[in-house]
Structures are given as structure tokens and as C-alpha cells.
Structure 1
Amino acid sequence: MPNNPPGGLGHVPVAVYSCATTSTALGESEEHGRYYADARHWHVAGAWSDADPALPLAERPGWQAVTAALSAGMIRGVVVSGPAHVASDAAQFAALGVLLRDRGGFVADASNGTPGRRTPGQARRRRDLADAASGWFGQTDTHDEGTS
């Protein structure tokens, strides 16, 4: 099975992992990670979380489940909504990336590169622009003035 890079597109099974002290923060983090994975057409095979960031990463039950899924071949990568969920600094996050890569996987930081959410008016305007650029001029009255 090829190891697709974190920026690549494809049907790659991934886990979404988060660690935060409140259920609200955990929910938002999971949603952010799922959105990031969906934007890349990655299949979210599972979402795990831990509620105690003070615990070392290796001792967290949710992280242990993620590494077990990676070892079993259920997932190819891990999506986190920010490096702070799994590391205390950039060097530690990079070391984790190397460790997962050595096991045939990857870690993806969803804090950058997630497309912003668009309103229906913005999506319609983008579609109209794409149609115009391709030479397709369907109905000319489809774009409402106040919705962009």
C-alpha cells in the first residue's frame, strides 16, 4: 500500500486525534480534523481523544488506541487540529512525525490549510465564475446582487 503524503489526495484511512480538558474543545477539535480529512478525500476510520494533556503522550488511552490502529493497518495517518494535541513544541512534533513515518504512517497538522467555510452565496458565485471561465453561460440572472 503506497504511503500518500499528508498533502496528497486520495482515499487514505486516517484517525482524528485530539486532547483537551473540555468536551467543547474536544468536539471542536474533532470537527476541525474531520473537515481537514474530508477536504483531502481521506476516510476517517475513527476519532479518539483524551481529556488530560498533562499525561505523557504514550500514556494516554486514546493515543494508545491510535497507535494500535496504525500498527494493525487500520489507518495510514493521524490528523490533529494542532501540534499542541500531541507535542509540547515544534521539535517534538517533528520527532513524532518521523516516528510515525518509520511505522509507515504520517501525522497531519490541520491548523493550517483548512479551507474556510463558504456561504451558499459565495459557493454560487464561485460556480458562476468557473462557468464563465469555461465559456458556459447558463442563465445570466442566477447571481443575486446582495449574496456575495
Structure 2
Amino acid sequence: MPTNPPGGLGHVPVAVYSCATTSTTLGESEERSRCYADARHWHVAGIWSDPAPSLPLMERPGWQAVTAALSAGMIRGVVVGGLTHVAADAAQFAVLGALLRDRGGFLADASSGIRTRRTPGQARCRRDIADAASGWFTQTGTYEEDGS
């Protein structure tokens, strides 16, 4: 079993878990979680998901498979695309994290530090601000020259 700390870098086998009603949301969560794990050089040993967020966590087949993999030593941690996949709020997420730590694992929320999606207008505005800050003006005639 790897001895790397939960926040550290290194070869740590993890599971990716998500729970959502649509395949699009499941796919986005999986991608976010994989990127999070890859950035830490963690090995994604398995991906599990459940389609019914209304079902209690401990009754979900995908979550049961994740906890079985943790108990068997196949994984060291669980990465979720957002805390809402496993908990209703931050307090419940912390309790679940403590429970997994007691079993020798860890729980990571991949949504922290992830850029939010931006609309094309927001991206253009950011680009214009960056261009202006660098002295590169794309809009000619906007600035009047002082005739003095």
C-alpha cells in the first residue's frame, strides 16, 4: 500500500465516484475527477457511478463497490467531482471524509480549484482586459490622441 500523504504527489490508487441523474453530468464529473487525480499523479484504479442521487449514499451500488475496494486495499482514496455527489453539505462531506480516514483512506473534492465555465462574452471581456493591461489595444479609434 502506498505511503504517500493524501495531499501529496505520487502513485496512489484512487477511485473516481459520481452520482447524477444525467449521463452528461456524470461524464463531466468523471473528467473533472480524472484531471484532479492526474494533476497529483494518482492512479485511477476504478470509476464508479450511480444514477440516483435521491438514494441514501450507503444504499447506492456504486458507492458500495467503492467502499469494498477501499476495504480490500485496491484503492487508497476516493475522488468526487463535487461534494454534492456524496453529501448534502460541507459538514456531511467532512464527516464522510473522517469515516474514510478511519478506514485508512481519504476523500477528495475535485471541484475545489477548478475554473468555472465562462460564456463567450466573459472570455472576450477577460481577453480585452488582458490586452489592455499589456498595452495591446485591438480597438482602434477608441483612444483620442491629445492634440497638444
Q: Normalized against structure 1, the TM-score is what? A: 0.74
Is the partner of 2:88 in helix, strand or coil? coil
* Number of equivalenced pairs: 116
- Counting aligned pairs with the same residue, the percent is 82
Structure 1 residues 3, 89: closer, same or farther in 2, change over 3 A? farther
The CA distance in 2 between the partners of 1:44 and 1:6, in whole Å, is 14
Query: Can you list the C-alpha shifts for 1:37-64, whole angstroms capped at 9, x where unaligned?
Result: 0000000000000000000000000000
Alignment of 1:126-137 (within 5 A): none
Q: 3-state SS of the aligned residue for 2:65? A: helix
Once the two structures are superposed, residues 66-92 of structure 1 have per-residue CA deviations (whole angstroms, 9 ceiling, x without a partner) of: 000000000000000110000001111
Determine if contact 1:20/1:26 at 8 Å carries over to the other structure.
yes
Q: 2:18 maps to what in 1?
A: 18
Q: What is the distance in 1 between the residues matched to 2:68 and 2:49? A: 14
> Contact between 2:2 and 2:11, CA under 8 Å: does it hold in 1?
no
Q: Where do residues 70-81 of structure 1 align in structure 2 (5 Å cutoff)?
A: 70-81=70-81
d(CA) in 1 for partners of 2:35, 2:72: 25
Distance 2:27 2:85 in 1: 13
- Counterpart Cα distance in 2 of 1:64 and 1:27: 20
Q: 1:122 maps to what in 2?
A: none
Contact 2:2/2:12 (<8 A) preserved: no
Once superposed, which parts of structure 1, at least 4 consecutive aligned residues long, lie more than 4 Å away? none
- TM-score relative to the length of structure 2: 0.74
Structure exhibiting the larger radius of gyration computed from Cα positions: 2
Q: How far did 1:7 drift?
A: 1.9
Question: Does 2:70 align with 1:67?
Answer: no
2:40 counterpart of 1:33: no
Gaps of 5+ in 2: 117-148
Q: CA deviation at 1:114?
A: 4.4
